[in-house]
Amino acid sequence: MTKYLWIAVGWMIAVSAQAADERVIALATAGDVDAALVERVRAGVEEYSGAAVRLAAPVPLEAGQPLDVVGRAAVQTMEAGDFAIIVLARPLDDRPQGVCLPDERFGVLNVAKLEVGADADKLARRATQESLRVMAMLLKMAPCPFPLCVLVGYDKVDDLDRMSANFCPPCQDRFAREARKAGLRLIEKSEPAAAPAEAPAAEAAPETSPAAE
């Protein structure tokens, strides 16, 4: 009897250990933020970081709310599997470009600041870069001194347009290590899946010229 009990306990531990590897980053909006922008940021962050990002419900935004108040409201909407929440916010008055409080598990980005002088593509790129920076901060990674890295320091928002959109290789490794430690679900890179479907078609027309013999 006790043996069965131990087996059951062991199984439960195995299941909960697996569940711990299924944590995700939640991405929410607050205020008037374009749904297409949010989806581009979600897809871009997943692609560059390798960590799963889920779209969360919008967070209510009131006039005059500071970004940290928005962040704390967002934390209240988090689900059990969420590691942290990133909010793309459009505050109703002038606010800083962003705030990230790793101990409180949130980062809030001010879209109104990011879109100055940017079209839709540029805004999506900037918001993705800033979201990657927030994710690195949430995992308590340090800024990077390497100029070709999204984690390098910068001054003005349009500096982002000249910066890398991606982690440098050491930061990428470090991010993957920290993400695993935090129990984040890492997604497979998608390149190998596309290859088999196209390969036969490319090789289907070899030169079979009988005249050559």
Tokens of residue 161, six digits: 């347009």
Binding mask 93-132 for Zn ion (x = CB under 5 A): ----------------------------------------
141/107 Cα distance (integer angstroms): 14
Least distance in angstroms from the C-beta of 203 to Zn ion: 40
First to last CA, the chain: 79
Q: Is 6 helix (H, G, I), strand (E, B) or coil?
A: helix
Which residue number, 106 or 167, has a Cβ lying nearer to Zn ion? 167
Least distance in angstroms from the C-beta of 197 to Zn ion: 34
Least distance in angstroms from the C-beta of 189 to Zn ion: 19
What H or E segment, with its residue span, contains residue 26? Answer: strand 24-30
In single-letter form, the type of residue at position 172 comes to Q
Least distance in angstroms from the C-beta of 86 to Zn ion: 20
Least distance in angstroms from the C-beta of 12 to Zn ion: 40
Which residue number, 114 or 136, has a Cβ lying nearer to Zn ion? 136
Least distance in angstroms from the C-beta of 141 to Zn ion: 9
Return the ∠ at Cα 86 (arms to 14 and 82), rounded to 5°. 15
130/88 Cα distance (integer angstroms): 10
Tokens of residue 18, six digits: 């697996």
Binding mask 142-181 for Zn ion (x = CB under 5 A): --x-x--x-x----------------x--x----------
Burial of 101 (0-12, 13-18, 19+ CB in 10 A): middle
The answer to whether 61 contacts Zn ion (rule: CB under 5 A) is no
Number of residues that bind Zn ion (CB under 5 A): 6
107/9 Cα distance (integer angstroms): 37
- Positions in the binding site for Zn ion (CB under 5 A): 144, 146, 149, 151, 168, 171
